[in-house]
Structure 1
């Protein structure tokens, strides 16, 4: 049977597809497997100690791994590590999370595929491969429209007075955070991008505030103008995967329509789309 993996920085979800295309009831979950942040031994340990234990005696014939950090230069390395865990598999492939998103969203048709979650990325996909991609630069110098950047704008606009005192009061009351706490989390603690992205829940709860709503529209407009416009393909449907796209569908759709694009599919997670893609292969 086929084993499909959707791996982010935090966790990896594994699903098996039987020969008749039904979904195997056995599902597995492990920590995220990012080859940029893990040694070969750490990667192997997760596969052997965690994954194989959960899969039990399931016979795997094909492995398709999609993960963050799987750039072209490390695909062979990741494939080799997976081969060690599944020596009897006939096919083993390792690809980027961006290609995973494109296959999940577009299947075998062309389109613009986007990731809009804690971070952001996008590409033009021709139904087989990525043909154009603006690089993901991270939340400090890129990631426009992402959860981390929305959180960054929120903090900036609250404490510089762009947003009202009412919003500041609500924020501090609901989060129990002061500016000194935020500075510590952002500049001294690990994973500040996830911390900033956590404020997307506050933003979503208060979209009735004009200032917050305009901030969201501005962030999504930046994503379109700085990334999608570079492709010069406004005729293609624009599809999204990720929590920000999922929860902000109405705002995202309005921005796309205003700027001359049409919305395709939105998925909270790529796994469902990847299952469909590989059931058809």
Structure 2
């Protein structure tokens, strides 16, 4: 099973999928390392029945969110997730990466986010 998480500062949208079929789709509070430390993130995860029920089955997590400008900030997310999802490999990336992958797939393009914050980037089809 995989989990794909697209988070803003206010809300995080979760999709759990197994063998190409959605198992669960839900929303939690947003996850942003500028505002949430590891303990707060772990507490949030422990309050969600979908996550509690599927935690051991999730083998891969793709988290895309705000505030991930450095490896230190990414590690806040990664470490909290590793505490909760004991059997998962975790990828933590900036929210603009999710927009680029979803919009451009493997072609070049300009992508942008207009939300609590605004960001734009050139995507070369790979990064």
TM-score (norm 2): 0.88
Q: Which consecutive segments of 4 or more residues in structure 1 shift more than 4 A? A: none
Q: Do the aligned partners of 2:107 and 2:125 also contact (CA within 8 Å) in 1?
A: yes
Q: Write the distance in 2 (CA, Å) between the matches of 1:38 and 1:119.
A: 17
Tell me the residue number matched to 1:142: none
- Where does 1:41-60 land on structure 2 (aligned, <5 Å)? 41-50=39-48, 53-58=49-54, 59-60=57-58
Query: SS at 1:43's partner residue?
Result: helix
Tell me the residue number matched to 1:36: 34
* 1:106 aligns to 2:104 (yes or no): yes
Query: SS at 1:57's partner residue?
Result: helix
Q: Which has the higher contact order (CA 8 A, sep 6+)?
A: 2
Aligned-residue offset at 1:95: 0.7
User: CA offsets, 1:95-142, max 9 Å, x none?
Assistant: 11111111111112211111123432100111121xxxxxxxxxxxxx
- Indicate which of 117, 120, 123 corresponds to 1:119: 117
Q: Write the distance in 2 (CA, Å) between the matches of 1:34 and 1:119.
A: 12
Greater Rg over alpha carbons, structure: 1
User: CA offsets, 1:192-228, max 9 Å, x none?
Assistant: xxxxxxxxxxxxxxxxxxxxxxxxxxxxxxxxxxxxx
- Where does 1:1-281 land on structure 2 (aligned, <5 Å)? 1-19=1-19, 21-24=20-23, 26-50=24-48, 53-58=49-54, 59-73=57-71, 74-89=73-88, 91-129=89-127
CA spacing shift, 1:48–1:56, aligned 2, 3 Å: closer
The structure whose residues are more often strand, as a share, is 2
The structure whose residues are more often helix, as a share, is 1
Query: SS at 2:63's partner residue?
Result: strand
Q: Write the distance in 2 (CA, Å) between the matches of 1:117 and 1:69.
A: 13
* Count of equivalent residues: 124
Indicate the RMSD between aligned Cα atoms, in angstroms.
1.5
Aligned-residue offset at 1:5: 0.3
Q: Do the aligned partners of 1:11 and 1:33 also contact (CA within 8 Å) in 2?
A: yes
Query: SS at 2:110's partner residue?
Result: strand
Gap regions ≥5 residues in structure 1: 130-281
Gap regions ≥5 residues in structure 2: none
Aligned-residue offset at 1:92: 0.6
Q: Write the distance in 1 (CA, Å) between the matches of 2:9 and 2:47.
A: 19
